[in-house]
Chain A
Amino acid sequence: GENVEQHPSTLSVQEGDSAVIKCTYSDSASNYFPWYKQELGKGPQLIIDIRSNVGEKKDQRIAVTLNKTAKHFSLHITETQPEDSAVYFCAASISYGNNRLAFGKGNQVVVIP
């Protein structure tokens, strides 16, 4: 089945620096790749997504890049702020059977003021 791996599991950055989280996936037919942010005590919330016909997408300080050949995609956060501290989940669509998402195990990002 689809396997989504995220790394690093924990990332600490100084406020103002950039943070990059990488995900790899195994199903070459996956075509939808969202990123979710989960703040403490809350449910995950979509922050950005990308479809397989696009290589990069940007929304203010966050961007996602997709390399279909290598089957990996990355979340980039620039000019990090304390409110960026959260758990970030990547996911990839599964092409077989019922459409569904496979989530990675999450990355804890800590922004140090």
Chain B
Amino acid sequence: DTAVSQTPKYLVTQMGNDKSIKCEQNLGHDTMYWYKQDSKKFLKIMFSYNNKELIINETVPNRFSPKSPDKAHLNLHINSLELGDSAVYFCASSRLEFTGELFFGEGSRLTVL
């Protein structure tokens, strides 16, 4: 059983399109996150949710909108995709907010053409 699963694993799309990445965790964790990893492997937090409530919104353009329908799911919707959005997006979860282990998904590689 995959602890943190995200779909799709690969996404290729044109500039200007809207796309979504879904994430689900079956660990019973209260906190979920989205991270962006650029081509230089730098990991940058985008959002964190605790029990469906937005905790961190780290200067991300408002074209990115996270949605947490329940504490086991955190989806990421991106409007009007730009070339610079190409990256690997990782979903993660933790039992407590940043005071313990982060469990990452396998990543969703987004390529904007």
Q: Which residues of A contact B41 (CB under 8 A)?
A: 38, 87, 105-106, 108
Interface residues of A (CB under 8 A from B): 32, 34, 36, 38, 41-46, 49, 87, 89, 93, 98-101, 103, 105-106, 108
Query: A100 touching B45 by the CB < 8 A rule?
Result: yes
With beta carbons under 8 angstroms apart, the residue of B4, B40, B99, B107 that contacts A93 is B99
Query: A49 touching B101 by the CB < 8 A rule?
Result: yes
Query: B42 touching A105 by the CB < 8 A rule?
Result: yes
- Residues of A contacting B: mostly: strand
Q: Which residues of A contact B104 (CB under 8 A)?
A: 43-45
Is the CB of B105 closer than 8 A to any CB of chain A? yes
With beta carbons under 8 angstroms apart, the residue of A42, A45, A87, A103 that contacts B107 is A42
Query: B43 touching A89 by the CB < 8 A rule?
Result: yes
Query: B56 touching A101 by the CB < 8 A rule?
Result: no
Query: B92 touching A43 by the CB < 8 A rule?
Result: yes
Which positions 37-64 of chain B face chain A at CB distance < 8 Å? 40-45, 48, 55-56
